[in-house]
A and B are shown apart, each in its own frame.
Chain A
């Protein structure tokens, strides 16, 4: 045994311990830092979601209210029905705009200058005249009477009442003039300005005037397009999945099909739009802008999603069930139609709903095939020109009118609500019918 100085050993041990502890402290610090970065990343994801929803809902919730102005309307026969015959065709051409203007002048008799009158008429929407016309057409007895009526306010007034048009700005920076302020304040003091639930937003199609624009046309367009998509992509997708899982021999062709499906799932959606433009519209002559061609393009786009989901659902059916059926003499097709398909159906439907939700939110390929037109009618068939909800959002987001801003956000909220419902349905379906074998 060497003669070792115990003091030296102790000192060395202390040094080592200190070094290790220092290292440990550093390593634990690194550990905490690393963990903090992870937490930060996860929280920032949540933050983004919150910020996104906050900004959309914050600008959009006002779209569900609309301002109305109460005026004393006199249905002057002179303007509406100069012939006095109460004939529908003549009534239809009656000067209802004049009726509105006259009642505005009667309300503010002091206004005379032409430019001031134009500003005064700007308080009420151009759509008010159509409402009056419809009232008179429904009840011609109104002619000659006068009534207190709530009229649709114009978009600028509407924005002002909702507090989105800053009164603080100098006159040349805002859309609403000082005089319009004064008139509105006078009307407001009389309890003649009111905000109501915006039914127009839900029961009319697009319009150049924000206060008359609604999402119904786009919703119906989306519905028709998705109907085509579902009708084509679900049967085809399920059939392809069944073939690949149950029948396909292991050969080159099968490999090729699989590679193609996987690649198509990752092809940018805009390329499908190019395909639709070149093949469906140019080559086959399908009408442009129609839900039919939109549905066809979205079918090709959602097929990979549905095929992949359906294959997973078929794979989840245990082989023992197939073996049992085959064992008692069923053919392969019978095994599939009697046993595998019913058992895999919930999974397939879940995949179909998710595919449909993706198709509902898709915009880019539809721009290519002309579904971006301004369409003021609700489409009635699969070949009518139509637009869909996301494209409507895109169109409104491009509009310069301020009032379209809140309507864009409102339309986004409608779209997100539909997506939420579809995804919730998928989750419920999965939880209710999913079987673990």
Chain B
């Protein structure tokens, strides 16, 4: 039986269990008139029956699904001729793959060796057996669960409380997914990083200034040892982020000030949504814009002034990234500025200050912590931004502070190391996870600080 059919059958059983549970509670109460004698409404008895019918069976199905492939593979390998057992794990997985391919029908059984064909046949037999087993077990569990609950129904059973208890548990586990995700990120990135640091010392990774992760295929090849010093990547990331902040902070801050303190309603009604459009544009579009329009433009302009601008210059990527972050900075700054109490402004006007003096000497200092927090969040976003730099920044690690040259960033290297087929044991692939770890730690730190600052600031005026 297919899994989908099995799930459908379970659903049907649950619907039946609901009907039976409901009907039984009504009968025990002595018909619709005796409903007052029940602790809960009849539908809760039905729900309880349905849940206990479906839930354990579902757990059985999922558990079976998770295990059966491995058990079958193990059994098939054991059943194969003795020579297979002596193969190395890598070769063994190749053999298992061959068998799988025959089973899936990708390779006709006639074209492989008889041992593999026999194993494939055994596999298919075990698989159909396992499917039947899963179906029988799940349906039995469902029937038993439903039956037991049905028998336990009595007018005194606190069905509503039980159902609601289960709902609460379900809700709690949904919100636990946030924690699970964080744990998953940390574990997956950390696990691969630890393996990486076994091959390459941490100090070399953090303080080394040479980055050339291409490993040689043969040992005698020129430049055969990959170098994993990430300083050029950090420097490149920093340079591009600095350029981006140099664009987005002044533009974002000033437009927020203008829109909240000066602009009339009409101008504000047009400009705000237009700026928000910038926030909604996918980063791949910005990347294309940077590579197609901004980089050539900068190069031509540079040539006019006698400057040699690389076609993948840090400047182009940084400028476009800055444009992307403008709405982020301006909406945060807007929040912070409007949070400053009007009384402070009135006091300043009363002393005869002009508007700009009020803004510069009263509003901005008052809003400063919040704005700093917002800028930190923006920095963390610039550091983690990927598509713009992948499309518009360079690939070769270059330790320079000149924005006209090509630099590479942490995210660019993660993408280039991981796109395409990869094995999980080469330092090249693992290096991407180590970079991911650094990225995660730095952005986490920035976010935690920024959120703390913003929260403390908001509380100040509430």
Contact = CB atoms under 8 A, between A and B. Distances in A.
Same complex for A and B? Answer: yes
Interface of A: 27-28, 30-31, 34-35, 37-42, 44-46, 48-49, 51-52, 55-56, 59, 235-236, 239-240, 242-244, 247-248, 256-257, 260-264, 266-275, 277-279, 282-283, 300, 303-304, 307, 331-333, 357, 360-364, 367-368, 372, 390-391, 393-394, 397, 405, 408-409, 412, 415-416, 419, 423
Which of A30, A394, A415: most chain B CB closer than 10 A? A394
Contacts of B285: 52, 56, 361, 393, 412, 415-416
B262 A270 contact: no
Most buried by B among A34, A42, A372, A397: A42
* 9 A-B pairs closest in CB distance: A268-B384, A38-B258, A361-B282, A278-B188, A41-B254, A34-B356, A239-B174, A240-B175, A364-B386
Contacts of A244: 175
Contacts of B164: 331-333
B207 interface: no
B152 to A, nearest CB: 21
Given A268-B383, A274-B418, 9 more contacts: A34-B360, A35-B258, A38-B258, A45-B255, A56-B285, A266-B380, A268-B411, A363-B283, A397-B288
Interface stretch (B131-139, B272-280, B338-346): B272-280
Interface of B: 160, 163-164, 167-168, 170-172, 174-179, 181-182, 184-185, 188-189, 191-192, 250-255, 257-259, 261-263, 267, 271, 274-275, 277-278, 280-289, 291-293, 323, 326-327, 330, 354-357, 359-360, 377, 380-381, 383-387, 390-391, 411, 414-415, 418-419, 424, 432-433, 436, 439-440, 443-444, 447-448, 451
A303 B178 contact: yes
Contact of B283 (A49, A331, A361): A361
A333 B167 contact: yes
A397 B175 contact: no
Contacts, number: 259
Given A263-B182, A274-B414, A42 B271 contact: yes
Contacts of B323: 48, 52
A264 B283 contact: no
A275 B163 CA distance: 35
Contacts of A270: 384, 386, 411, 414-415, 436, 439
Contact of A49 (B261, B277, B292, B387): B277
A267 B444 contact: yes
Contacts of A35: 258, 262, 355-356
Contacts of B284: 361, 363, 390-391, 393-394, 397
A38 B257 contact: yes
Contact of A260 (B178, B188, B330, B439): B178
B99 to A, nearest CB: 16
16 contacts: A28-B354, A31-B354, A42-B259, A49-B275, A52-B289, A239-B171, A257-B178, A260-B181, A268-B383, A271-B443, A300-B181, A303-B177, A394-B287, A397-B287, A397-B292, A397-B391
Contact of A236 (B174, B182, B286): B174
Nearest to A423: B280
Contacts of B255: 38, 41-42, 44-45
B333 to A, nearest CB: 11
B271 A46 contact: yes
Given A267-B440, A271-B384, A415-B282, A42 B414 contact: no
A387 B448 CA distance: 34
A331 B160 contact: yes
A275 B167 CA distance: 29
Contacts of A332: 164
Say whether chain B's binding surface is mostly helix, strand, loop, or mixed. helix
Contacts of A44: 251, 255
A257 B191 CA distance: 23
A243 B274 contact: no
Which of A38, A236, A419: most chain B CB closer than 10 A?
A: A38
Given A42-B271, A240-B178, A274-B436, A31 B356 contact: yes
Given A243-B174, A267-B440, A27 B357 contact: yes
A282 B189 CA distance: 13
A404 B381 CA distance: 30
Contacts of A240: 171, 174-175, 177-178
Contact of B415 (A41, A49, A266, A364): A364
A264 B386 contact: no
B280 A260 contact: no
Nearest to A283: B188
Nearest to A38: B258
B278 A42 contact: no
A275 B355 contact: no
A368 B439 CA distance: 15
A159 B387 CA distance: 28
B368 to A, nearest CB: 17
B181 A264 contact: yes
Contacts of A268: 380-381, 383-386, 411, 439-440, 443
Contacts of B360: 34
A331 B160 CA distance: 9
A394 B292 contact: no
Contacts of B274: 45-46, 49
A41 B258 contact: yes
Interface centre among A55, A235, A243 (most CB of B within 10 A): A243
Given A263-B444, A267-B384, A45 B251 contact: yes
B387 A34 contact: no
A242 B175 CA distance: 9
A30 B181 contact: no
A408 B292 CA distance: 11
A256 B288 CA distance: 39
B278 A45 contact: yes
A318 B437 CA distance: 43
Contacts of B391: 394, 397
B66 to A, nearest CB: 9
A305 B230 CA distance: 32
Contact of B179 (A31, A46, A257, A361): A257
Contacts of B439: 268, 270-271
A363 B282 contact: yes
B362 to A, nearest CB: 14
Contacts of B355: 31, 34-35
A304 B177 CA distance: 10
A55 B292 contact: yes
A19 to B, nearest CB: 15
Contacts of A40: 254
Contacts of B440: 267-268, 271
B354 A27 contact: yes
Nearest to A288: B421
A27 B447 CA distance: 39
B178 A304 contact: yes
B259 A274 contact: no
Contacts of B176: 257
Nearest to B254: A41
Contacts of B267: 42
B251 A362 contact: no
B247 to A, nearest CB: 9
Given A270-B414, A419-B282, A264 B188 contact: no
A271 B451 CA distance: 20
A328 to B, nearest CB: 14
Contacts of A272: 185
A419 B276 CA distance: 13
Nearest to A337: B167
